[in-house]
A = this chain, B = another copy of it.
Amino acid sequence: MIQLAKELGLSVSTVSKALGDSHEISASTKKRVLELAKKYKYKPNPFASNLRKKKGKQIAVIIPDIVNNFFALAVDGIESVTMSKHYDTFIYLTHENLEREKAVLEHLENGLISGLIISVSTGREGYSHFQDFYETTKLPLVFFDRVPDLLQFPKVITNNYESSYEATARLIKAGSKRPVLVTTTEPMYTSVERRRGFQDALEKNGIGFSDEMIIHCTDDMDLNYSIMRKIFSQKKRPDGIFASIEKYAITSYQVCKDLKLVIPKDVRVIGMTNLRTAALLNPSLSTLAQPAFDMGKEAAGLLIKMIEKKSYAAANEIIVLPNELTIRDSI
């Protein structure tokens, strides 16, 4: 910038203001400055700028996992808006590890970013680290999908209750007398809602709910397999599965295949998943897909609005997007 100023016979401040399109600078000088800047491919140093302005155009995304179509799509959605708004996007993966999540959050208290998008890792032991982060940094944060229900922050979620209700009703309509919900052991906001939908659908359709209709799976795929295999080996085995998580749908298929249970004759399956191969499974899997890309887009849009307009800071807006049910041959 000093170089530019010298060459133009201007002061550094004038050049800075011209580049910042300040009203204090005449149109003609602005033009001169812009042109020379372009000629020299001058790019303002973001560190100096951020240091002085005490904020920058960098945000962070914290998610449990990226090797998962849902989160990959969400990141895609987020990136599409940060890219267009000229923001840089950091990515941090927690691998469902609460300690890691806390560590990342604490790290980000150094002021590296101007905003944060999060989908929390499983476990509900405490959300205080989010609150702490907010207290100390006062930075805008937006949660999506896996949100901490107890905290007052802006969120982007789906109609988990309604769509679970609908999916369960479809299972029943397809002939299932003993449907089960396959869900996590760790209670999360999303799974609680999905369970509510499942349970209400049973009761509205005259099927009494009992606790063994919930199968709790873990993060350990092998363990999940044996849990489910055991349940489906019983005489009075379930005849319908609502797999509320992508990978549990896959396990369901494996178990049925190995136990020679025919889908959908013996067992009807709906999976909550964004798998692109759903239609190619044997038989093709009926899915309740989340609008992952759009959720990412909405979350990023909201965050940037909050960063740029102070007025938005207080927003504890909640955006609800609909899941999409696609019925295929597994039901």
A169: min CB distance to chain B, Å: 26
Q: Which of A210-218, A277-285, A300-308 is near enough to bind chain B?
A: A277-285
Q: Please tell me which one of the listed residues B66, B100, B281 contacts residue A66 in the complex, with CB atoms under 8 A apart.
A: B66
CA distance A48 to B70 in the complex (A): 37
Question: Which chain B residues lie closer than 8 Å to A107 at the CB level?
Answer: 43, 86
Interface string of A45-72 (1 = CB under 8 A from B): 1111011000010100000011111001
Nearest residue in B to A57 (C-beta to C-beta)?
Answer: B112
- Tallying the copies of this chain within the complex gives 2
Q: A130 contacts the other chain (Cβ, under 8 Å)?
A: no
Q: A5 contacts the other chain (Cβ, under 8 Å)?
A: no
Question: Which chain B residues lie closer than 8 Å to A257 at the CB level?
Answer: 280
CA distance A158 to B68 in the complex (A): 23
A41: min CB distance to chain B, Å: 7
Which A170-229 residues sit within 8 Å CB-CB of chain B?
A: none
The reply to whether A73 and B67 contact each other, CB–CB distance below 8 Å, is yes
A104: min CB distance to chain B, Å: 8
Interface string of A70-93 (1 = CB under 8 A from B): 001101100110010010111111
**Contact size class for A?**
35 or more
Q: Please tell me which one of the listed residues B45, B56, B250 contacts residue A276 in the complex, with CB atoms under 8 A apart.
A: B250
Q: A253 contacts the other chain (Cβ, under 8 Å)?
A: yes
Interface string of A123-137 (1 = CB under 8 A from B): 000000000000010
The reply to whether B66 and A67 contact each other, CB–CB distance below 8 Å, is no
The reply to whether A83 and B79 contact each other, CB–CB distance below 8 Å, is no
A295: min CB distance to chain B, Å: 14
CA distance A44 to B100 in the complex (A): 20
Q: List 5 A-B contacts (CB under 8 A).
A: A43-B111, A68-B72, A275-B277, A277-B280, A281-B281
In addition to A43-B110, A66-B66, A72-B72, 16 A-B residue pairs with Cβ atoms within 8 Å of each other are A41-B109, A41-B136, A43-B107, A45-B51, A46-B47, A47-B50, A48-B51, A58-B90, A67-B69, A67-B73, A67-B76, A79-B93, A90-B91, A254-B279, A257-B280, A277-B277
* CB-CB nearest 6 A-B residue pairs: A282-B282, A43-B110, A47-B51, A47-B50, A277-B277, A67-B72
